[in-house]
Amino acid sequence: MSGDQKQVTRRDFLRKTAAAGFGSALLPLNDLTRAEASASSSELEPMIVPTRPFGKTGVDVSILSLGGVLKSTDLLIFRQAFKRGVTYWDTADSYGRGKNEKAIGKYFAKFQDDRKKVFLVTKASTSDPKKLTEKLNQSLQRMNTSYVDLFFIHYVKNVKKELTNEVKAWAENAKSQGKINFFGFSSHKNMENCMLDAAKLGWVDGIMMSYNYRLMVKDEMKKAVDACVSAGIGLTAMKTQAAFTANFYASIGSETDDALEMTENFLRKGYTTEQAKLRVVWENPRIASICSAMPNMTILQANIAAALNKNNLSENDKKRLEQYAHQTASGYCAGCAGICEKAVDHDIPISDILRYSMYHHGYGDRETAVRLFNNLPADVTTNIFKADFSKAERSCPQKIQIGNLIKRTCTELALT
């Protein structure tokens, strides 16, 4: 076999192995069920996902959180997650247009005792106290529960404007009524500034933010995490895979010798590249949990396997991830503080649209991407094709081809 043939074989092997996931590292479901039925609790202990303190709340949460959109037909996933210690469950009133919350409610109706052991989180996309009450009551009814452990305002972009004194009073009242135990917000954009401002408030219990191998090394994010930890705020990482914004970016950097060596090193330690991206976040002990969409048993098992793996990444492994992040930066929107948007004459939510493209291509969730894009103001589509994005592209720290990508996303997602 020639040297070129060996190289192709190695590339193909690493690509296929990384794509296959590590669900096979765990017992098959039937075998696992039989093992659980016959084993003692002490024998099962190593198979349970560990926990960490969630800020100053006094509550420990599983380091892996069950996220994504699951339906009532997916109760087996809920059950298996619970049995393996994945007891931090994340949802929102908008996920699946309420179907995710209804599925959780169906699960609790069947397994009533499990509710006490689940750290249940839901969200509402409003900061209007009256609407928050309506959304919370609706979520409680859907999920067949009288309270949630943590209630988030979804997608906060500006803490000073959105977390008002009225919102604080609402949260305190909801706590006094026993409807929520803790309060916080999620943030996909301008995360660092949101986190810094929240740390100064003194009444935010938890934050879920985009946090991954690309973002965690940035000085701004390090300062924001430091401030939140000092304030006792529990932190949940999301978007930890740092998926590419669009499919035509997906091959950037993946075929380089450095990337192949990185994959090979991860596999030696029992991780796929996807699992290693989780591991590098978990190695920051100040991150309480990772929220991951786990729509099927294969991904659930792969993520649990990563959570149970005791092999830490080396400094060289982390440097390789950081280098890969640098090489592929042009395919990932980092959710900056509106740098690109300020450089465009028209009002276009660039980072939001790029996130919708990521849902479509990175997550394969076209339904959510279409819904979110078409909920934007009606003039956005018109503005997209009027705007000059050249200044925005020059100002983008990631060097994303913004104009091309925004217009393509509009063509793909806009309903006609």
pLDDT band for position 337 (cuts 50, 70, 90): confident
Q: Which residue has the tokens 């994010």?
A: 221
Residue 33: per-residue pLDDT: 43
Of the candidate CATH numbers 3.20.20.100, 3.40.718.10, 3.30.360.10, 3.40.800.20, the domain formed by 23-321 belongs to 3.20.20.100
Question: What is the chain's mean pLDDT, rounded?
Answer: 88
- Is there a contact between 191 and 221 (Cβ–Cβ < 8 Å)? yes
Residue 367, amino acid: E
CA atoms of 52 and 134, how far apart (whole Å): 32
**Residue ranges with strand state E in 270-319:** 289-293
CA atoms of 17 and 242, how far apart (whole Å): 20
CA atoms of 46 and 49, how far apart (whole Å): 8
- Give the residue extent of every domain in the chain: 23-321, 333-413
Percent helix, strand, coil in the chain, to 5, is 55, 10, 35
pLDDT in tens, 386-413: 999 999 999 999 999 999 999 999 999 9
Q: Give mean pLDDT, residues 115-141.
A: 97
pLDDT in tens, 56-103: 999 999 999 999 888 888 899 999 999 999 999 999 999 988 899 999
CA atoms of 254 and 328, how far apart (whole Å): 9
Residue 46: per-residue pLDDT: 47
Which of 47, 53, 55, 52 has its CA nearest to residue 63?
52
CA atoms of 204 and 197, how far apart (whole Å): 10
Residue 410, amino acid: C
Q: Which residue has the tokens 């249940």?
A: 120
pTM of the complete model:
0.88
